[in-house]
Chains A and B, each alone.
Chain A
Amino acid sequence: MEATAVTTEMMMVMAMIGIAIFLFIAEWIRVDMVAILMTVSLPLLHLVTPKEAFSGFSSNAVISIIAVIIIGAGLDKTAVINRMVRPVVRIAGNSSSRVVIAMGVTVALISSFMQNIGAAALFLPAIKRVSKSMNISLSRMLMPIGFCAILGGTITLVGCSPLILLNDLIAPFKLKPFNLFDVTPIGLALVGSGIVFFIFFGKFVLPGGDGGKKSGEEPVSDISAALGDLFELKTPPDFTDFRDPITVKDIRNRYLVNVVGLAGRDGIKQLSLVPDTQIRSGNDLVAYGTAENVRKMAQEQGIQIKDQVEVFKNEMSASTTGTIEAVVAPRSSLIGTTLRQAHFWEQFQVNPLAIYRSDKVFHIGLSDMELRSGDSILLHGTWERFNILQERHNFIFTTPVSEALKPEKGLIAGFWLAVSLTMIIFFKIQLSVSLLTGAFGMIVCRVLTIDEAYQSVDWRTVFLLAGLIPLGIATENTGTAAWIAREILNLIGNVPAVVLLTVIAMLATGFTLVISNVGATVLLVPLVVNMAIASGTDPRMAALVVGIATSNSFMLPTHQVNALYMGPGRYRSVDFMKAGGMMSILFIVVLVAILYVFYGI
């Protein structure tokens, strides 16, 4: 191989790559900002033309992703997914492993044409429900199904962002674009291997493994253990005399008792209590707490416990109020704020009782905790209020709040999805056009409004994609990719295609863990295509490996799907590292094996 000189341009590109990787890891600025930084600095450094710099925004990939997100939102709005679950579960029967398999397969199929995180979020309520009704521990269901959601993204070309990007990235090399189902055999094999993995190794890697008593146990008893029972109490007429005020917060902090309703002497009931709400004389109150704690509180504070719930009987009836677990959604506006700062009680009028983070439970100090994505908040309130809360998209409810959604719209949503797929498969129309047609069709038919469609699009992903594409272009145009490729090949020497592809898969896995799947894809594709050409391997296969292997992010709980399931499943980081690590290795093995056997390399 001839050695080529390193030009200044190449050095600048490598510097920019280095900066991008560093910023991704250091997290000093947000990932989309890093991408925009690239978009802006590359043309200034004359490493790309301005047109090239912004080509990402009009790329097929970005349009396709926007369309896929909108389609996913439309399906979400009509609860189509939830309805699909019931027949699936019925078919699966009584065996818990069969149920997990059935749901895993379903979510994988859904994830094959939706964003992984969208599919995972959609499934969460259904999983919770099945877990409760079939008495299966949530921690045994969530991680397998979560992994299936990730793996399902490799089944079709629209299943995940890297694959959507692929055709755009290989176009400059004049390589033949991939079809929608070209990856399907690999994807199905991967999903299959994931399921098999959990069947055989589930008990070793999942917490609570074989019905052991740990935090991932039965969610129902988890809640009632944390909550206690409901008690009604009454304060005497001289309760406030000669005493400093006692607030709801004081009661929670001192006795771990949650007051959820307060009625004054005028009989007017308050069902959502700001922590600073004072408890006064002659008040009737309802509270959740263990019998022991409630008795202690009653005795020390001089409050009388009533025999049964009377004043609040109607308000506390199961048909009016209840407790649910709500997971802070990935794009919730509450992330980074505290409940107090967000005026949570005034805005939503439900009572937070506890917050679950990883495998820890927090009962006190709730109002001042900075919320993170994946935090699971135990809320108590009226179903009416929960419905309103659900509209705001701040939370994903693990218990479905209302199924009074429009079934006709579900058919329409499904219809437009079918239209998109038909256009892609049978009419060979460009991916972006077909998907956008489907999305547009849904909006026209009022499955969701155009504003809801706009709201549902995660601009972070869009900018991340659009912003990094010029970096890939620069890498190729300046010959940097070719140079790095040659250097690596020199390093590893002349190896058979299988080995090369394995190395590429490992590179992609490693990169995706630190600089996101999109970043890894954009940087690696030009690189590996060059490597493949230089060593006589099929460059399309090399690019495909990158597109698939960048989904191999099971080890870190910070990956979107993992982060979402971590709270409800009560997983610790170490759980992900164990299961995820093994899964990652299995992934690479299966991938390369399938390529070898079926694609003839």
Chain B
Amino acid sequence: MKEKLDLLLVDDETIVLQRLKPALTKIGCQVETFGDAKEALKRIDAKVFDIVVTDIMMADVNGIELLEYIQKKSDRTKVIMITGYATEALAREAMGKGAFDIIAKPFRPDDLRNMIARAAAALGFKEKIVV
């Protein structure tokens, strides 16, 4: 069983990547970040991640499309959606399309860490992620 969680973080807002990357690395995740969804897609082609955290409203490719793309690639990856435009409808759409969870921006790192811990547990990671 591998040690670290492979995590992909996609968001076109730099502040999100800047602040979340260290916060997540702290709890034992191997974090890769992308500000451009297209680049992220290429990376997803190359590697299967345990968890993908992605924004929904992005310029070229939106998060929902990313979600669908990932699911075609691997049904193991847990996708967590983050969005500044959360609504009841959007949440239902994301969940309906198979997202593991969704949270509204802005949030504190602990909120995301909790979600990741649950995703890790769902993936069968024996090591408890310390939040």
Contacts and interface: CB of A to CB of B under 8 A. Distances in A.
A–B contact via C-beta, under 8 angstroms: yes
B23 interface: yes
Nearest to B23: A244
Contacts of A200: none
Contacts of B16: 241-242
Interface residues of A, number: 7
Interface stretch (B44-52, B89-97, B101-109): B101-109
Contacts of B106: 238, 240-242
Interface residues on B, range: 10 to 19
B109 A244 contact: yes
A18 interface: no
B38 to A, nearest CB: 23
B129 interface: no
B76 interface: no
Contacts of A243: 19, 23, 108-109
B111 to A, nearest CB: 10
Contact of A244 (B15, B105, B110): B110
Interface in A229-251: 238, 240-245
Tell me what chain B mostly uses at the interface: helix, strand, loop, or mixed.
helix
B117 interface: no
A242 B110 contact: no
B128 to A, nearest CB: 20
A238 B14 CA distance: 12
A241 B111 CA distance: 11
B107 to A, nearest CB: 7
B20 interface: yes
Q: Which of A240, A242, A244 has the most CB of B within 10 A?
A: A242
A238 B16 CA distance: 11
Q: Which of B19, B20, B23 has the most CB of A within 10 A?
A: B19
Interface in B67-122: 105-110
Interface string A544-578: 00000000000000000000000000000000000
A238 B23 CA distance: 17
Contacts of B19: 241-243
Nearest to B18: A242
Contacts of A240: 106, 108
A241 B108 CA distance: 6
A115 B15 CA distance: 65
Interface string A236-273: 00101111110000000000000000000000000000
A238 B107 CA distance: 10
A244 B113 CA distance: 11
A384 to B, nearest CB: 36
Interface string A76-89: 00000000000000
B58 to A, nearest CB: 17
A243 B109 CA distance: 6
Nearest to B21: A242
A71 to B, nearest CB: 60
Nearest to B11: A242
Contacts of A245: 108
A243 B105 CA distance: 12
B108 A238 contact: no
Interface in A191-247: 238, 240-245
Interface in A353-404: none
A240 B110 CA distance: 12
Interface in B1-57: 15-16, 19-20, 23
A240 B109 CA distance: 10
A238 B105 CA distance: 11
A331 to B, nearest CB: 45
Interface of B: 15-16, 19-20, 23, 105-110
Given A238-B15, A242-B107, A243-B108, 15 more contacts: A240-B108, A241-B15, A241-B16, A241-B19, A241-B105, A241-B106, A241-B107, A242-B19, A242-B20, A242-B23, A242-B106, A242-B108, A243-B109, A244-B110, A245-B108
21 contacts: A238-B15, A238-B106, A240-B108, A241-B15, A241-B19, A241-B105, A241-B107, A242-B15, A242-B16, A242-B19, A242-B20, A242-B23, A242-B106, A242-B108, A242-B109, A243-B19, A243-B108, A243-B109, A244-B108, A244-B110, A245-B108
Q: Kindly list the 9 A-B residue pairs having the minimum CB-CB distance in the complex, ordered from nearest.
A: A241-B106, A242-B19, A243-B19, A242-B20, A244-B109, A242-B16, A242-B106, A238-B15, A242-B109
